[in-house]
């Protein structure tokens, strides 16, 4: 019996779409440095590792202690990241036609709006 390639292809496409949708849904929900992220990690560890209350407390304290270092690293890298991002956008604009530049500006505004919305949702 030959494999039905249409069914295989459809199954593959459904899997890809479902994976992409799940990735999009989870993207930005929990940032590494956020308090919410740490509490979710502790809950996850607790459920999957059967942590004792003492272990749970120690892990929670450890994550909290590392948060400052993570935030400091982000603060250090942020200006370099922004510089690369700005120069990349400037180079893209040089390649585009005037009409494309207008659309690119609208896309950037949409991205910025989504980013701000996500950031505001993360804050307690």
Q: How many CA atoms lie within 13 A of 58 on its CB side?
A: 5
pLDDT per residue as tens digits for the range 57-68:
998 899 888 888
CB atoms within 10 A of CB 38: 19
Tell me if 122 sits within 8 A of 31, measured CB to CB.
yes
pLDDT for the residue 25: 52
Residue 18 domain flag: no
When divided into structural domains, the chain yields a total of: 1
CB atoms within 10 A of CB 42: 19
- Structure tokens belonging to residue 8: 């295989």
Residue 17 domain flag: no
Rounded-to-integer distance, Cα 105 and Cα 90, Å: 11
pLDDT for the residue 32: 47
pLDDT per residue as tens digits for the range 76-108:
999 999 999 899 999 999 999 999 999 999 999
Residue 2 domain flag: no
Residue 4 domain flag: no
Q: What residues make up the domain containing 84?
A: 28-122
In the chain, where do the E strands start and end? none
Q: How far is CA 89 from the centre of its chain?
A: 20
pTM, whole model, 2 decimals?
0.48
């Amino acid at each position: 019996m030959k494999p039905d390639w249409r069914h295989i292809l459809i199954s593959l496409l459904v899997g890809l779409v479902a994976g992409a949708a799940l990735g999009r849904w989870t993207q930005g929900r929990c940032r590494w440095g956020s308090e919410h992220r740490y509490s979710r990690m502790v809950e996850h560890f607790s459920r999957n590792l059967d942590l004792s209350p003492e272990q749970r407390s120690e892990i929670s304290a450890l994550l909290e202690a590392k948060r400052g270092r993570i935030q400091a690293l982000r603060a250090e890298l942020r200006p370099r990241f922004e510089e690369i991002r700005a120069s990349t956008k400037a180079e893209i604009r040089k390649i585009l036609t005037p009409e494309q530049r207008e659309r690119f500006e609208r896309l950037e505004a949409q991205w910025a709006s989504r980013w701000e919305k996500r950031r505001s949702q993360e804050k307690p």
